Amino acid sequence: MRVSYYAVFNYDEYDKSEEKYGISITFPDIPEANTCARNYAEGANMALDILQLCLIDSEIEAYPKPSSIENIRLGKNEKAVLIQYDTDKIDISKFKFFNE
């Protein structure tokens, strides 16, 4: 099954020592899915990882309904990024679970 949710990339954090922005990443439809990154490429990877981790134990019927782009409010330094994956193609080996 194909899963698609918008992530909000917020560029408000500026690191003066590195002279670049840190990106905080949230998912409006999945409040527990939060991460951060130093650049867009890292952000896209981190967003995919946190989305998969937050939904990995969910039943398909329990997935929140994705918001449409028109219903996502963005601030001045924010942009929406569509994060997608196929639930049949998750590489679970990259995650380490310590409670099993």
According to the model, what pLDDT value does residue 53 have? 87
Amino acid occupying residue 79: K
In a domain, 52, yes or no: yes
According to the model, what pLDDT value does residue 26 have? 97
- The pLDDT tens digits along the chain (100 residues) read 889 999 999 998 766 676 677 899 999 999 999 999 988 999 999 999 999 988 876 655 678 899 999 999 999 999 999 999 988 787 767 666 665 5
CB burial class (10 A; 0-12, 13-18, 19+) of residue 78?
middle
- Tokens encoding 89: 């193609």
According to the model, what pLDDT value does residue 71 have? 96
Enclosing domain of residue 41: 2-86
In a domain, 92, yes or no: no
Angstrom distance (rounded) from CA 21 to CA 79: 14
According to the model, what pLDDT value does residue 90 have? 74
Total residue count of the chain as it appears in this document: 100
Angstrom distance (rounded) from CA 93 to CA 88: 14
In a domain, 67, yes or no: yes
In a domain, 41, yes or no: yes
CATH code, 46: 3.30.160.250
In a domain, 100, yes or no: no
In a domain, 61, yes or no: yes
- State how many domains the chain has: 1
